Amino acid sequence: MDHVAQDGILQQESATALYFDGASSRRRVVRLVFGDALGISEDGAAPALWTYDDIRQVDSPAGVLRVSCLSAPALARLEIRDAALSAELTSRCARLGENRLDGRAVGKIVGWSLAAVASIVMVVLFAIPLAADRLAPLVPQAFERRIGEASEVQIKAIFGNQVCDRPAGQAAYVKLLGKLREAAGLDDTDVQSSVLSTEVPNAFALPGGKVYMFSGLLTKAENPDEIAGVLAHELGHLKHHDNMRGLIYNGGTSFLIGLLFGDVTGSSALIFASRSLVTASYSREAEQNADTVTIDVMHKLGRSPKPMGELLYRVTGKEGGRNLSILAGHPLTEDRLHRMSAEDHPASGPPLLTPEEWTALKAICGPAAVAKPRK
């Protein structure tokens, strides 16, 4: 049962303990002498003296009291396996348990953690959006274009690299884009745009001024104003540097949230959820601002923004109730249609394209694209 007894060295079992002096791994059976300080003596050698107030408990298995001493070598250990002797030593050492993480220490950890969380939330909600808004316009055009080129290569790899440029259609497209660009107050060098042949009905702007219109959206459009509204929306993104802002914002938040909180309690999915919540609200705001540009530009040209809302509605259908609206990166299509309809004035300017130009634009990818109307 007891090591000490097995060793057979000792008669007075109650006063013996195991001692490791921290300089070697030798297991010493020692006698404890309770004087002014704790005396630890081994076979008549000069005893080590441990001041009671310096003695601290360290980890040990159940049934063993293991202590160290602040004024002794750091790894010197005394092990007592006898309950009475343990009690004797415990009663003399007032500060035995000071090593342990007590309730107050845990409370401190919790308090500081909450403070850290609050500060991170503040940074994510206020500081990063502010930084993104201020920094995005300062990013040099050349750098922005580089980022744009990088994503352009990827996008062409995904959607195919088929640029539509039948001359008549291209001329109409350039004319339409030119009018919108001027009305939006952007320079000629700011914008390059082309039509990509893919059935996906979409359009987007890349950092550095690249705007892509997918032929799928042309197929669904019924008049030039619909396409003009969408293009004006994308120009709005360029004007507000939304890509750079989004990049800085997304990069900042995911970096902060992800790296600081690490992957604990399997909460990475939770982090992902909360991050998409804040970034979605941020991008909804950007979309709304781009819609504002559409409204301004169309009014300036004497046309109505309403057709764009109608085109979007035709593409997406009613969105409310289908997904979680606060997770959506765009405002709901019906809300956008509603807003565009409210801004609907009777046309005061000339049509943006002649009927012939409109037909040519719809056929920019070849006649097949027109001949294949899709539901």
Residues found near another protein in the complex (CB under 8 A): 3, 18, 20-27, 58-62, 64, 66, 75-77, 79, 101, 106, 109-110, 112-114, 116-117, 146-147, 149-151, 153-154, 156-157, 251, 255, 259-267, 269-270, 273, 277, 320-322, 324-327, 332, 334-335
Distance CA 140, CA 58 (A): 59
Residue 3 near residue 81 (C-beta atoms within 8 A): yes
Quote the least distance from Cβ 39 to another protein, whole Å.
18
Amino acid at 132: A
Q: What's the closest the beta carbon of residue 359 comes to another protein, in angstroms?
A: 35
Of residues 44 and 61, the one with the C-beta less far from another protein:
61
**Burial class of residue 202, CB neighbours in 10 A (0-12, 13-18, 19+):** middle
| Shorter beta-carbon distance to another protein: residue 338 or 345 | 338
- Residues near 103 by Cβ (< 8 Å), separated by ≥ 6? none
What residues does 19 pair with on adjacent strands? 28, 78
C-alpha 298: how far from its chain's center? 36
CB of 183 to another protein, least distance (A): 32
Question: Which residue number, 75 or 87, has a Cβ lying nearer to another protein?
Answer: 75
- Kindly tell me which of 201 and 246 has the beta carbon lying closer to another protein: 246
The single residue listed with the structure tokens 């690249």 is 210
Give least dist CB 180 to another protein, A.
Answer: 28
41 strand-pairing partners: 31
The distance of closest approach from Cβ of residue 308 to another protein in the complex, given in angstroms and rounded to an integer, is 20
| Contact predicate 316/309, CB 8 Å | no
- 88, 34 in Cβ contact below 8 A? yes
Which letter does DSSP use for residue 46 in this model? P
What does the alpha-carbon distance between residue 84 and residue 59 come to, in Å, rounded to a whole number? Answer: 19
For residue 200, the SS3 value is coil
User: What's the rounded Cα separation, in Å, for the pair 145 and 207?
Assistant: 6
CB of 174 to another protein, least distance (A): 26
Instruction: Provide, rounded to whole angstroms, the least separation between the CB of residue 181 and another protein.
Output: 25
Query: CA-CA distance, 111 to 101, in Å (whole number)?
Result: 15
- Give strand pairing partners of 40: 32, 48
By beta-carbon proximity to another protein, the closer residue of 57 and 304 is 57
The CB-of-170 to another protein minimum distance in angstroms stands at 26
Provide the token pair at 176: 């339409």
Nearer to another protein, 26 or 374 (CB): 26
> Closer CB to another protein, residue 22 or residue 39?
22
- Of the pair 205, 363, the CB lying nearest another protein is at 205
Residues 21 and 317: their CA atoms lie apart, in Å, by: 79
What are the Cα distances from residue 303, in Å, to 227, 290, 344, 346? 12, 17, 9, 7
- Residue with Cβ nearer another protein (67 or 298): 67
Least distance CB 22 / another protein (angstroms): 5
